[in-house]
Structure 1
Amino acid sequence: MTALSRDPAAIPPREHLHVVTGDVRDFTTVAQTIEDAHAVISTLGRQRRGPAICTEGTRTILSAMAADRPRRLLILTNYGVAESRHRSLYVAASWLLERSVLRDKEHMEALVRPSETEWTLVRAPILTNGPRTGRYRTGTDLRLTFTSKVSRADIAEFMLSELEENAYLRQGVAITS
């Protein structure tokens, strides 16, 4: 397994994990990183200020995947974008506080949907650094609230299981504990 990171020190060492230092916006780096991959999992995130890294990085990933690379793509996104942008206090507050982040995620999703990839969009609420519990709910019509949260470890477990199951192929799926 290979991970591309602008800050490899942020990824704890793990057996069978090769970490590549680079920028997800650089086509050559991304193409080399995914060359022998069976799938691509993207967990790009953006700060309130800064480049639209999710949109720009996803554009690069999709270009690299179009060159006869892996077809399967799982992307971590946010609840409250695209069809999960329901009229709720949770979504309204999210957009009020994180407009630039959510706009970046919406543009990212707009690139993914018409792509030739076999994509799944994983829509998360607040992420925690808690342990993997295996106790989380997923669904295409799941409504999240202010108390919704999920650990990064549970997100990772779900995304890896989705690679095998393909239960949400070409769909957006919400997740919460």
Structure 2
Amino acid sequence: MTVAVLGATGATGRHVVSTALRRGYRVVAPVRRAGTFAPHEGLDEVSWPEVTDVPALTRALPGTSVVISALGGAGTGPTTVCTDGVRSAVTAMKAAGVDRLIALSAHGVLETHDKSLYSLAVWANVAERMRDKETMEPLITASGLDWTIVRPPKLADHDEIGKYRAGTDLRIRLWSSIGRADLAAFLLDEAETPRYAHAYPRISR
């Protein structure tokens, strides 16, 4: 399987890339600057200087089985990285004949933006990034692609545990979290064996 990873240089994206390579997949990594990754058999870096550069992304995607978006915005201040990147991805995928899109969003957006303690806390801390996810998701659901939108809670940096719970109705609590390595494994499991087509799975430890 050939996997294109958007946001490949980010904290979660790097886990997706490394896990995919360990599984023997070919990985296409659109990056802003060449030489971001050490040379590795099966890894193809391609130039994607700006997330709005549709032609560059279109050239990178032919032959790709699935696109996984692990795009994320800046920690503070307004950001549209996810929205702009996914808008480009939808157009590029259609032009390149790629149908499967798995996108990383966040629990607490749109209908999950409720009065739960988790939602209140995440919006109090990273509201701009959540707004970016909220404008990203409708672009995906209206795209006509075979999509899955994954909505994790807080992301943690620790080694892969190999155990997690996932489901569209999974209860997310204030203390819920998932490690980036386990999240990457879930994204690739979904790419390999789709279980949540046109759905919004949640995942937690």
Equivalent position of 1:27 in the other structure: 54
**Partner SS for 2:201:** strand
| Residue correspondences, number | 177
Task: Tell me which amino acid in the other structure corresponds to 1:149.
Answer: S
2:67 to 16, 40, 43: 40
Q: Does 1:169 align with 2:197?
A: yes
RMSD: 1.7
Mean CA deviation greater in 29-38 or 19-28: 19-28
1:146 Cα deviation (Å)? 2.5
Counterpart CA distance in 1 for 2:162 and 2:65 is 24
Counterpart CA distance in 2 for 1:72 and 1:66 is 10
% same residue: 36
Task: Tell me which amino acid in the other structure corresponds to 1:167.
Answer: R
Mean CA deviation greater in 146-155 or 101-110: 146-155
Give unpaired runs (5+ residues) of structure 2: 1-26
1:15 to 27, 41, 45: 41
1:15 Cα deviation (Å)? 3.3
1:141 to 169, 185, 198: 169
1:37 Cα deviation (Å)? 0.5
Counterpart CA distance in 1 for 2:139 and 2:67 is 15
Q: Is the 8 A contact 1:4 1:24 kept in 2?
A: no
User: How far does the alpha carbon of each residue in 1:78-120 deviate from its partner, in whole angstroms, 9 at most, with x for none?
Assistant: 1101232232011011112111110100100011111111000
Q: Is the 8 A contact 1:128 1:151 kept in 2?
A: yes
Q: 1:93 to 1:175 in 2, by over 3 A?
A: same
Task: Tell me which amino acid in the other structure corresponds to 1:135.
Answer: K
Counterpart CA distance in 2 for 1:34 and 1:9 is 19
**Partner SS for 1:141:** coil
Task: Tell me which amino acid in the other structure corresponds to 1:174.
Answer: R
1:164 Cα deviation (Å)? 2.3
Equivalent position of 1:128 in the other structure: 156
Mean CA deviation greater in 52-61 or 11-20: 11-20
Q: 1:93 to 1:153 in 2, by over 3 A?
A: same
Q: Does 1:98 align with 2:126?
A: yes
User: How far does the alpha carbon of each residue in 1:111-140 deviate from its partner, in whole angstroms, 9 at most, with x for none?
Assistant: 111111100001111222211222111111
TM-score normalised to structure 2 length = 0.80
Mean CA deviation greater in 90-99 or 3-12: 3-12
Counterpart CA distance in 2 for 1:104 and 1:141 is 23
Counterpart CA distance in 2 for 1:7 and 1:86 is 39
Counterpart CA distance in 2 for 1:111 and 1:12 is 33
Give unpaired runs (5+ residues) of structure 1: none
Counterpart CA distance in 2 for 1:8 and 1:133 is 32
Equivalent position of 2:7 in the other structure: none
Q: Is the 8 A contact 1:66 1:116 kept in 2?
A: no
